[in-house]
Amino acid sequence: SDDNNDVAPVQSSSIDMQLRCAVTELNPNYDFITAKYPEQQLREIPRNKLTLTRLLGQGAFGEVYEGSLKNLCANVKELPVAVKTLPALSMDQAEKDFLMEAVIISKFMHKNVVKCLGVCFEEHPRYIILELLEGGDLRTFLRDSRTKGDHACTLSMEELLKLALDIANGCRHLEEKHFVHRDVAARNCLLTSRGPERIAKIADFGMSRDIYSSDYYRKGGKAMLPIKWMPPEAFLDGVFTSKTDTWSYGVLLWEIFTLGYMPYPGQTNSDVMHFVASGGRLDPPDKCPARLSKIMIMCWNSVADIRPSFSEIIELLDMCLQDDEVLNANVSLCHYPMSDCFKD
């Protein structure tokens, strides 16, 4: 599969060459990036169809804005969007990394993965246009759902399970495409809204983008890695497979059912590496129903092959949704010192 015209419509052949060279031999996502998905090429959108309205936050490259997109297709007059920007004076490497992010996101077409609607790459500043996810990130949402004082939660077990299922479905889509995300965590999931109709989506491909970058090792090596979400074979041997994402997903489940605690409260990354490598594991949240704890524990098997696939995880979560014992359980209470729970 060396004949890659995936990203050809919007980039010069020289960037294309460099992009391919940046894909390392040991990269399990290599086939994914070089495979052909002609129907999902990057779509260049005329800049004048776009209005930026409000700053949403700061991304790795530049600001992220809320905006609207006019007349994208015949029956949609105006579409709310999020626009990632790349400052005009960016380095060559940032240009490539930014493009890579658009290429990666555009490979997916699933309700639980953020959609890329198109790009403005012909002029500066360059834009990546994404569907707008107005509910913010999952971790903040979970933390905000704690009512202060009595530790009760404004969300039901059913709502939490549905969030877990949303992300498992997104992960299954990545798994089917043999794509390893490498950074499945509550902070990287975004919500369509905060209300009961909310849908959670996997939305940050920064880590999978960065491994294509020749700048990767300069960006800080281990200090940049999400150690608390990684299985031992990943931080010890650098092995990443879909079962890496399964482990991280188990930690994400723990985050959901503790309403957004920092995993391994009070422990540093270095503590956690030693602890996990020698067989230590997170305790499932207090009073977590056994059926649910078991899923987390399966995700954290030291033998990667034995960890469940995302299809299996979805089946197990579906059974939780049909089990009154799970549905009627109290959403867990804090049993760690509060000060440790929200530290990053």
Catalytic residues: 183
Q: Which is nearer to ligand ADP, 132 or 282 (CB)?
A: 132
User: CA neighbours within 13 Å on the CB side: how many for 317?
Assistant: 25
Q: Which is nearer to ligand ADP, 64 or 234 (CB)?
A: 64
Q: Tell me the C-alpha distance between 107 and 91, whole Å.
A: 25
Determine if 211 is a binding residue for ligand ADP (CB under 6 A).
no
Determine if 64 is a binding residue for ligand ADP (CB under 6 A).
yes
Q: Which of 61, 254, 257, 310 binds ligand ADP (CB under 6 A)?
A: 61
Question: Within 124-163, which residues bind ligand ADP (CB under 6 A)?
Answer: 130-133, 136-137
CB of 135 to ligand ADP, least distance (A): 8
Per-position x/- string for 188-207, each x denoting binding to ligand ADP as judged by CB under 6 A, each - no binding: --x------------xx-x-
Determine if 232 is a binding residue for ligand ADP (CB under 6 A).
no
CB of 218 to ligand ADP, least distance (A): 17
Q: Tell me the C-alpha distance between 261 and 344, whole Å.
A: 10
* Per rule CB under 6 A, count of chain residues that contact ligand ADP: 19
Distance of CA 47 to the CA centre of its chain: 27
Stretch touching ligand ADP by CB under 6 A, among 39-47, 50-58, 284-292, 333-341: 50-58
CB of 87 to ligand ADP, least distance (A): 12
Q: The tokens of 113 are what? A: 């993965």
Nearest partner of 116 among 41, 50, 178, 173, judged by Cα: 41
Q: Tell me the C-alpha distance between 114 and 188, whole Å.
A: 11
CB of 111 to ligand ADP, least distance (A): 14
Q: Which is nearer to ligand ADP, 142 or 295 (CB)?
A: 142
Determine if 334 is a binding residue for ligand ADP (CB under 6 A).
no
Question: Within 77-116, which residues bind ligand ADP (CB under 6 A)?
Answer: 82, 114
The site for ligand ADP (CB under 6 A) is made up of 56-61, 64, 82, 114, 130-133, 136-137, 190, 203-204, 206
